[in-house]
Amino acid sequence: MTGVQQITGPLSAVDSQPSKTVRATCPAGKRVVGGGGWAFATVAADETKVTLTELQPVHPASGRDYYEATGQEVTPNITTDWWVQAFAVCADPVPGLHIVPRVSDPHQSRIDSFCPPNEMALGGGGSIDNPVDHVALSGVFPLLGGLAYTATVLPDSASFPGTWTVTAYAVCAPPPAGYEVRVGLSGDAGTDPVKVALANCTAGKTLLGTGATAASVAPPGVALQVVFPSGALDQVEGSAVATRPITVDWGTVVATAICVS
């Protein structure tokens, strides 16, 4: 593939609003194939209280492609400042490139969006409809070696009664040369409130799509905070946090990199 670049979007406002949405916009003539986002609090005591609820690639009917990220406070809402930022991975037009969305049923915790036959996911994302401060993304990642892209969610408590749906977005196309999916695991951090994983492309290959997920054993209260494509387009950082005290080992965080020659 040619013309691949990482675009860093502007910071959101740095304040205590409960939800913030930002975009990283591709240059004119380029298409978004992947991206990511991160959310951070400015006070250490609140570092796990902001999470990601949307990571979405967008091919609009008119105008430039972009990748959108939404961050949100979990309950109880914090009063200190925080911010969110989006990142897009953009490339020269790819024949057959398109986005395949798939929406879950209400209260469903996982949805898989499959690419059509003879196509693979070059990137993707996920978003939550009606997260209402209680539900966050716990995973966005390619599935089955890239045949599909998956989005998973977790509420902040087992008793949350709200209604939500989750959408997975697969950016699909015939696989470019050298297509591969690489993974990296966080260390065994037990009950630590923050866990970070790194996934690296094979030397000489270029990053297109990103992913990160908390372990399937993670309990309510675990959420994604970082899915970051490096500026050098060779690595993905994924980070998940425990938004409330969790006294059991909540497993390993997995970062995923979709790379091509």
CA distances to 72, 89, 91, 222 from 5, rounded to whole Å, are 27, 6, 6, 31
Helix (H, G, I), strand (E, B) or coil at 157: coil
108 and 42 Cβ atoms separated by less than 8 Å = no
- 183 or 79, greater pLDDT: 183
**Taking Cα atoms as reference points, which of 28, 53, 2, 83 lies closest to residue 260?**
2
**Tell me: the pLDDT tens digits for 187-223?**
877 899 999 999 999 999 999 999 999 988 788 899 9
Considering the chain, what percentage of its residues have pLDDT values greater than 90? 82
- 155 forms bridges with which residues in the sheet? 135
Average pLDDT, the chain: 94
- 85 forms bridges with which residues in the sheet? 38
**Tell me: the pLDDT tens digits for 11-20?**
999 999 999 9
* Residue 172: other Cβ atoms inside 10 A: 27
Residue 133 has pLDDT above 80, yes or no: no
The token pair at 233 is 């387009």
Residue carrying structure tokens 């990296």: 184
Go through the domains of the chain in sequence order and give each one's CATH number: 5-260 (2.60.120.690)
What is the structure's pLDDT at 40?
A: 96
The separation between CA 231 and the C-alpha centre of its own chain, rounded to angstroms, equals 16
Measured in degrees and rounded to the nearest 5, phi and psi for residue 13 equal -60, 145
**Tell me: the pLDDT tens digits for 38-73?**
999 999 889 999 999 999 999 999 999 999 999 999
What is the structure's pLDDT at 156?
A: 80
65 and 80 Cβ atoms separated by less than 8 Å = no
What is the structure's pLDDT at 216?
A: 82
* Amino acid at the residue 170: A
**pLDDT category of residue 168 using cuts at 50, 70 and 90:** very high
CA distances to 77, 118, 129, 161, 221 from 155, rounded to whole Å, are 15, 35, 13, 9, 6
**Tell me: the pLDDT tens digits for 218-234?**
888 999 999 999 999 99
Residue 3 has pLDDT above 80, yes or no: yes
